[in-house]
Structure 1
Amino acid sequence: MGMISEFKEFISRGNVVDLAVGVVIGAAFGKIVTALVDGIVMPVIGFVTQGNASVSDWRYVLRPAQLDSAGKEVAAEVAVRYGLFLQTVLDFLLIALVIFLFLKAYNRVRKPAPAPATPEDVLLLREIRDALKNKP
């Protein structure tokens, strides 16, 4: 079997196609959740807690920026940007929650595969076995 035919067989499997669709939908969904967090949730949290609208600007300054006499920045500010971290954590938690709820609903809807019917010859052999066990 040539490499191209093996590749076609690999791609044509349902699992690979399903995975590709899942990745594309997951990326699009991640963008939706990020837009929700950046545009709606975080401005509300920022307004309620500190009166400003951007949580991503929250930081703890370790060393402020150094300016020369003309007001030009000589050394950049050194700061821990914990607001950006909080925003990213909230993004992750919301995406994980929605995926959890989706999978929970999917598993509830999905019906388990019915057990295959036992072949008649196996049933007959079981009857013979049981009859021989009961014989004195």
Structure 2
Amino acid sequence: MAEGKEEKIDSCAQVAGRILLKEVIKKSDKYEYINILLSPLSFHAVLSMTAAGATGDTLTQMLQFLGVRNIDDLNSNFLKMAAVFESNSERDSNCPDLSFVSGMWVSCTHELKDSFKELVNTLYKLRLNLLIFNERCVAIFFC
């Protein structure tokens, strides 16, 4: 990665693998045993939701990193992945129903736009709940 630029990675599994490796290396010095579980599909969903709420340079960098041109492409890719799981279970009753738990925590100090709330509700099937955590308000999206 020359001159501080992020390398474009087209596969979420590669991104997840890099993060996993970084965490294992970082924690292996502190602990004898560690357990880490990271689903590439869940990871992709969280990155997509985060990008959908981003603006300006942050949005541009996230879209470039995820290898898409715009939010519509990002959302379309997610819908295509979700459709694969749905079509497999519709074609074969013996096919397992696949689902994943995904969530996002957002401090209530950040205002969430109604369009963002609607997007994560309709596309990612997450709902918003408020929680007081360590005496701070946190908005939680989860399925």
Scaled by the length of structure 1, the TM-score of the pair is 0.23
Q: Which structure ranks higher in relative contact order (CA pairs < 8 Å, sequence separation ≥ 6)?
A: 2
Higher helix share: 1
Higher strand share: 2
Scaled by the length of structure 2, the TM-score of the pair is 0.22
